Amino acid sequence: MDRDPLKVQVVSAEKVVWSGEAVQLIARTVEGDIGILPGHEPLLALLVPSRVEIVTADGRQEALFVDGGFISVAEGRVSVLAQEARMGQEISARDAQAELDGLTLKHQNGEATEEEQHRMHLLKAQLAAAEKAAR
């Protein structure tokens, strides 16, 4: 690839969670998965609670969790913004799994509130990010 790598930053409401150069970034928008390569046209898209995958310029894989938010791409700069964003390796998969199991049980009995169902989505996304980071 002869294009310059993407300048990526993943920002939560409280701090910059990750920033660096990347050759590829995969995120999940409300319409489906999207892959961003260097030279992507300007884009502003809403994200669902999901895992964001980044292939850095030196070939490492990074996985992050976002609770929604949006991605903006313009002129080789990619910003992923979410109220909450965390590195995959900072998430405790065991805690998330335990909480998810509890909620799933509730959900199967049809007792889960809307909020709890949203929480389940968040937990699944956290798990996905944690698993990917552990690999």
Q: How far is the CB of 108 from another protein (least distance, A)?
A: 29
Longest dimension (CA), the chain: 55
CA pair distance 73, 97, nearest whole angstrom: 33
| Positions 72 through 91 that interact with another protein (CB under 8 A) | 72, 74-75, 79, 81, 83-84
| Positions 15 through 34 that interact with another protein (CB under 8 A) | 15-16, 29-31, 34
Note whether 113 binds another protein by CB under 8 A. Answer: no
Nearest alpha-carbon partner for 46 in 62, 58, 34, 59: 34
CA 86, 88, 39, 57 dihedral sign is positive
Q: How far is the CB of 19 from another protein (least distance, A)?
A: 9
Total residues interacting with another protein, rule: CB under 8 A = 26
| Positions 91 through 110 that interact with another protein (CB under 8 A) | none
Q: Provide the β-strand partners of residue 20.
A: 8
Given candidates 26, 37, 45, 112, which one binds another protein under the rule CB under 8 A? 45
